[in-house]
Structure 1
């Protein structure tokens, strides 16, 4: 369940990234949609990092790195 939530948040972050790109290219100079897309993207990234940290602390996510 936690991995699915992380993947969904990552997909939503990518969608916000591309919507910001569209707003950057097509909007006029007085639009605030680009700023809102950036705010959404930063919030989603913070939530993703928080979920990953929570998963590592709680033991639901385990690193299999050899180092």
Structure 2
């Protein structure tokens, strides 16, 4: 469940990235839609990082690295 939420947040971040690019090209940088897309992308990235950190802290996500304790 946690991994699916992380993947969905990453996909939403990519969609926001391309919508910002579309608005930048279409509005030629004069509209506020680019700023809104950037805000959404930053919030989604912060949520993704927080969810990954919470997953490691709670033990739901683990690292396969041999040096990980």
Cα RMSD over matched residues?
0.9
* Alpha-carbon shift at residue 29 of structure 1 (Å): 4.2
List gaps (5 residues or longer) in structure 2.
Answer: none
Q: TM-score, normalised by structure 1?
A: 0.95
Which structure 1 residue ranges, 4+ long, deviate > 2 Å from structure 2? none
Matched residue pairs, number?
A: 67
CA deviation profile, 1:19-67 (whole Å, cap 9, x unmatched)? 0000111114431000000000000000000000000000000000123
Give 1:1-67 correspondences, 5 Å limit: 1-67=1-67
